[in-house]
Amino acid sequence: MRVFTNARLATMDPALPGLGVVEHGMVAEQAGRIVYAGPVRALPADEVVDCAGRWITPGLIDCHTHLIYAGNRAAEFEARLDGASYEEIARQGGGILGTMSATRAASPAALEAAARHRLAPLLAEGVTTVEVKSGYGLAPEAEYKCLTVARALGDVADISPTFLGAHSVPPDMPRADYLRLVCEEMIPHVARHGLADAVDAFCETIAFSPEEIAQVFAAAAAHGLRVKLHADQLSNLHGAALAGRFNALSADHLEYTDEDGVRAMAQSGTVAVLLPGAFFTLRETRLPPIEALRRHGVRMAVSTDLNPGTSPLFSLLLAMNMAATQFRLTITECLLGVTRHAAAALGRADVGVLRQGAKCHLAIWDIEHPAELVYRMGFNPLYQRIWSVS
Ligand code: DI6
Ligand code: FE
């Protein structure tokens, strides 16, 4: 048994209020699992780590990333500075489709090397669990290749891969044919081979309609896969309501979601994943319905949406700062949003909380107060990251 003692804990335990703070605390680990988290007490430890009053949180969780891609979209960023809109660029074959061509052409080894390079700054901030979407292959073999690369990153972090075949219609196929391919070939294959833990889709005028996504979700359910949705990011197609109807783990973005959508999410326990990096990059002005989400008791998570187009953001700490400053989330909401609520967005109960039985993924911080994890920009107070393979 290894103990981390003389620490202040933000356990995120739902049985405790707020961050679940324990002032004079310790965490005990055995075989990669937490066997005790709470007030300091005498335990038969083989190894004692004195945390000297530092704070321990659960290892952070980035619950929405598009980490696997090839190519470079800096020129598109420049075009947008010159006034082009994201939708215009997408309609002209740039955007997601530009990344698709580069991703299809890339070898698994090249994709993996690039993904590891992007993952490094997250890990350096104490991130221990990362959701990783496919969605830039947009063809069976290319999508499977990306999901396999995602799983390969499991030697440095706890990876939850998500199949996002319904990200965009590839230009080389009629949309009905591609949709059929996603539902009848790709989802069954992904499920059969355990390539992903969930299925995601992009509900938008430039991507898929709610009716099309209902087919994707029905196929996912038929193969035992939970669903998530990019919902109401650029317009209100009632994606949040659709997500609620299909019992989705999460509905993400939500800038244009209305009260009915929020109500549907509350009923199904669907987590709201807020992505302030995309909001910032697109210079969006419409805020997600934070007040309504609070009123209806919808859990909120915060994530980077790390992707080459709308959110080239490689810092979950900065995502929290943006969620606080732009969306007015409280410190507690931000921190639950990258721990317990982010875990819920992945359908996981074994991470995001310091309690007996959870995986012993820890972030130990050189801070005086948890608010310091949110208020600075570009400063990383991580002291040590404990990541337990198991
Ligand atoms: N919404 C997003 O913000 C990303 N994907 C999506 O469905 C953007 C993807 C990209 O532009 O490459
Ligand atoms: Fe996304």
- Give residue-wise pLDDT tens across range 54-86: 999 999 999 999 999 999 999 999 999 999 998
User: pLDDT band at 390, cuts 50/70/90?
Assistant: low
pLDDT value of residue 91: 84
Residue with tokens 């993996």: 112
pLDDT higher than threshold 70 for residue 230: yes
CB–CB of 71/312 below 8 Å? no
Beta bridge partner(s), residue 47: 2
CATH topology of domain 60-345: TIM Barrel (3.20.20)
Band of residue 328 on the pLDDT scale cut at 50, 70, 90: very high
Average of pLDDT values for 220-249?
98
Residue 305 CA to ligand 2 centre (angstroms): 5
The response to whether residue 134 sits with its C-beta less than 6 Å from ligand 1 reads no
CB atoms within 10 A of CB 108: 13
C-beta 305 within 6 A of ligand 1: yes
Please choose from 97, 132, 310, 313 the residue to mutate so as to test ligand 1's pocket, defined by most ligand atoms within 8 A of CB.
310
Homologous superfamily assigned to 2-57+353-386: Urease, subunit C, domain 1 (2.30.40.10)
Q: What average pLDDT does range 212-227 have in this prediction?
A: 98
Q: Is the CB of 238 under 6 A from ligand 1?
A: no
Ligand 1 pocket member 129 (CB < 6 A) = no
Residue range 83-103: average pLDDT? 91
pLDDT value of residue 79: 93
Residue 197 in 3-state DSSP?
coil
Q: Is 309 in the pocket of ligand 1 (CB under 6 A)?
A: yes
Alpha helices in 237-347 (DSSP H): 239-245, 259-268, 276-281, 290-295, 316-327, 331-337, 340-345
pLDDT in tens, 340-380: 999 999 999 999 999 999 999 999 999 999 999 999 999 99
Task: Name the average pLDDT for the chain.
Answer: 97
Nearest to 271 by CA among 297, 304, 295, 237: 297
Task: Please tell me if the CB atom of residue 202 comes closer than 6 angstroms to any atom of ligand 1.
Answer: yes
Lowest mean pLDDT among 80-84, 267-271, 327-331, 362-366: 80-84
Indicate whether 181 pLDDT > 70: yes
Helix (H) or strand (E) run with residue 78 in it: helix 74-81
Query: So where are the chain's domains?
Result: 2-57+353-386, 60-345
Counting from 1 in the atom list of ligand 1, the atom nearest the Cα of 136 is 12
Cβ–ligand 1 distance for 307 under 6 Å, the answer yes
Element (H, E) at 158: strand 158-166
Q: Cα(10)–Cα(25) distance, rounded to whole angstroms?
A: 9
Range in 87-101, 120-134, 168-182, 370-384 with the lowest mean pLDDT = 87-101
The predicted-structure confidence for 145-167, as pLDDT tens digits, reads as follows 999 999 999 999 999 999 999 99
Q: First CA to last CA across the chain, in angstroms?
A: 15
How many A from CA of 240 to the centre of ligand 2?
A: 15
User: Rounded to the nearest whole angstrom, what is the distance from the C-alpha of residue 83 to the centroid of ligand 1?
Assistant: 19
